[in-house]
Amino acid sequence: MKPTSQITAGHAVLETVIGFMGIAWSEKGLIRLCLPERSREAVERRLLRHPGVSASTGQPSWVVDLIASIKAYAAGEDVDFSGVPVDLDGVDDFRLAVYDAARKLGFGQTTTYGELAKRAGHAGLPRETGAALGANPVPLVIPCHRILAAGGKIGGFSAPGGSATKEKMLAMEGVRIGPPPAAQASFGF
């Protein structure tokens, strides 16, 4: 697609090395991001079932840049999505605070649901924080995969593939979940 100079609403399905991903945007910013699926059609169906997703495929320049960044991330590069404009119209103040706190986590950084709740100004609400992240419309840009359960456990993940997808995304960022390897295995003998 040729970039358009005027920011308009639209959507795109992109092929990455980890599968097909999709994005949708409004004139204000990103409104949806679909994590990897096996087929272009599955992503297209997921995107278009959400209200507000336009059938248009014309891409403003910031979307062209975002697509390149998503492909780079999928290829294993350290990408910072914190500057991507996000349109969260209709999202309540609690979720906005949780999403804002999550966006401050950089590539390869993790925290727990309880700690994120505290950073968002809602200490003592880890379950509610987890539910807010489960409703995250733009995972990766709002990096909900970087939030772990207490004790460093993986926790839930509502994207296709569930916790296995979350663990793979964290591994791409150099984060290992689970017990460390046995001491003898680490020396290779």
| Collapsed DSSP state (helix, strand, coil) of residue 183 | helix
Q: Which of 161, 117, 123 is nearest to 139 (CA)?
A: 161
Give rounded-to-5 percent helix, strand, coil for the chain: 40, 15, 45
Backbone torsions φ then ψ of 128, nearest 5 degrees: -65, -35
Judging by beta carbons within 10 Å of its beta carbon (0-12, 13-18, 19+), is residue 61 exposed, middle or buried?
Answer: exposed
Active site residue 34: no
Q: Given 9, 74, 88, 144, which residue is catalytic?
A: 144
Contact call for residues 31 and 137 (beta carbons, < 8 A)? yes
Contact call for residues 63 and 84 (beta carbons, < 8 A)? no
Which residues of the chain form beta strands (DSSP E)? 3-4, 10-16, 19-25, 30-37, 59-60, 111-112, 147-148
Active-site residue numbers?
144
